[in-house]
Amino acid sequence: MKSSEGGLPVRGVRLGAVRAPVYENKDRDDLLLMAFDEGSVGACVTTANQFCAAPVHLLRAHLASTPHVRYWLLNAGNANAGTGESGMDACRQTIASLAALTGTSSDTVWPFSTGVIGEPLPVRAICDAIPKAYDICDSSVAAWERASRAIMTTDTHPKLRHIQCEIGGQTVTLTGMAKGSGMIHPNMATMFGLIASDVAMTAECLQTLLGHAVNHSFNCVTVDGDTSTNDACAIVATQMAGHETICDPASPEAQIFASALSVLADDLAEMLARDGEGATKFVRVICEAASSDQDAHAIANTVALSPLVKTALAASDPNWGRIVAAVGRAPISQIAIDRVNVWINDVQIVENGGRHPKYTEQAGQAAMNPVDIDIRISMGVGSGYCRVMTCDLTKEYVRINAEYRT
């Protein structure tokens, strides 16, 4: 099962993107409204950053109040984080404006913001633009494409994919988009993962399946080690696919959907890593044969996050000592060094804790030259496994973030 590039219309979903403006000096769409038919339910995983933004607080409250969702309201260019009670009031005003326009309850509106932290949200501009976004909402492929661009910040390109599966003799569609290229690190990062499906499923089942998919995709991506204040992966199920409602996450029908969801989330997460700010390489750090999946994640994440490893990748330098040094400082209780083996792509560089006897610098250089690189680490002590996606760390990353507000 594979996802495909671009969006597909999803029954019960309409989208409208406009310029509010939130970005005062950019001529681009920066406000997105997604509308869902009555009966739709949602699930969401939000940032682990304790200094989370106003929209995250309100999104969590709305999700706790009711599983039903009618609208997602998203803006780019302003995070509405670090704004205190005035930021909460600003977010409530935008929600109330949409609820009044559409005659829906405020707790069926989910807010999302991304952009600069600490700046007041331009409430009036957003509220004035909401009717314009509502009026142009439609379900077309073009609407999905425009929406995927409206949520971008430092992204170099939109991230939009779709996948279909068959449940109960009916075709179920999932279309997802993501944004993010910096301040990306588990748990949840500067990213939106926004997925819509016409699957018929309870909110509880949807939440369980989303949590699993996120843990193996968006929570296995790191660009720079900074976990954002804002971000979320959300999914809506419009109940319109025509099959019987799925209630049990362990059922065969749920597992079919879970497989499609996991593939879509994984492919979107890979797009985030490939579009890391200033990135020239896409890297998978794979840890296997660890004592547990948790240890494998700790090891892979430590290597993927290491500035020394990432700068060596940027230079295509096979400085493998940086890899084993990162393995050694991973936050796990014990490492059996004499069982550790390491490969860069197909070239084994470490055998039983030491330099492989047939390793050459020329072979290491050849392994480091490609754009796509796999660093595979076998710990030799168990069956624990994890794969973390990352990118290199370049001078361009420094420039982008030094000039972010200018």
pLDDT exceeds cutoff 90 at 222: no
pLDDT attached to residue 177 = 97
The domains of the chain are located at 4-274, 282-402
Q: What is the mean pLDDT of residues 38-52?
A: 89
Half-sphere exposure of 378 (CA within 13 A, CB side): 12
Number of H helices, E strands in the chain: 11, 16
Segment (H or E) for 58: helix 54-65
The CATH classification number of 4-274 equals 3.60.70.12
The band of 223, judged by pLDDT with boundaries at 50, 70 and 90, is low
pLDDT tens for 94-114 read 999 999 999 999 999 999 999
| pLDDT over 50 at 328, yes or no | yes
Over 50: is that where the pLDDT of 380 sits?
A: yes
pLDDT over threshold 90, residue 406: no
pLDDT at 190 over 70: no
Q: What is the pLDDT of residue 199?
A: 98
Residues 6 or more apart whose Cβ sits within 8 Å of residue 197: 10, 172, 173, 174, 175, 235, 236, 237, 238, 241, 257, 261
| pLDDT higher at 23 or 278 | 23
How many alpha carbons lie under 13 Å from residue 398 in its C-beta half-sphere? Answer: 6
pLDDT class for 122, splitting at 50, 70, 90?
very high
* Closest C-alpha among 315, 179, 201 to residue 247: 201
Sheet holding 372-378, edge to edge: 354-355, 347-351, 341-344, 372-378, 282-290, 384-391
pLDDT band per the 50, 70, 90 thresholds, residue 189 = very low
pLDDT for the residue numbered 181: 61
* Residue 9, CB-side half-sphere exposure with 13 Å CA sphere: 11
Supply the pLDDT for residue 187.
Answer: 46
Q: Which fold has domain 282-402?
A: Ubiquitin-like (UB roll) (3.10.20)
Q: Are 32 and 89 in contact (CB under 8 A)?
A: no
Torsion angle of alpha carbons 363, 365, 370, 375, nearest 10°? 80
> Which residue is it, tokens 């040094």?
325
Q: Which of 46, 153, 175, 190 is catalytic?
A: 190
| Cα distance between residue 153 and residue 193, in whole Å | 14
Residue-level pLDDT at 25 = 86
- Which class for 226: exposed (0-12), middle (13-18), buried (19 or more C-beta within 10 A)? middle
From 45-54, 217-226, 231-240, 384-393, the region with the lowest mean pLDDT: 217-226
On the question of pLDDT at 319 being above 80, the answer is yes
Q: In the predicted model, is pLDDT for residue 186 greater than 90?
A: no
Question: Helices marked H in 188-292 — which ranges?
Answer: 203-215, 252-274
Name the residue type at position 91: C
Mean pLDDT of all residues belonging to the chain: 93
Alpha carbon distance 67, 95 (integer Å): 17
Q: Express as a percent the part of the chain with pLDDT over 90.
A: 82
Query: Distance between CA atoms of 282 and 372, rounded to whole angstroms?
Result: 5
Q: Is 227 a catalytic residue?
A: no
Rounded CA-CA distance 92/86 in Å is 10
pLDDT (0 to 100) of residue 224: 54
- Asked whether residue 171 carries a pLDDT value surpassing 80, the answer given is yes
pTM of the prediction?
0.90
Q: What confidence score (pLDDT) does residue 49 get?
A: 78
Report the distance separating Cα 293 and Cα 291, nearest Å: 7
pLDDT in tens, 225-248: 555 667 789 999 999 999 999 999
* For residues 56-81, average pLDDT: 96
Dist. CA 20–CA 32, nearest whole Å: 9
User: Which two structure tokens, joined as six digits, stand for 267?
Assistant: 């492919």
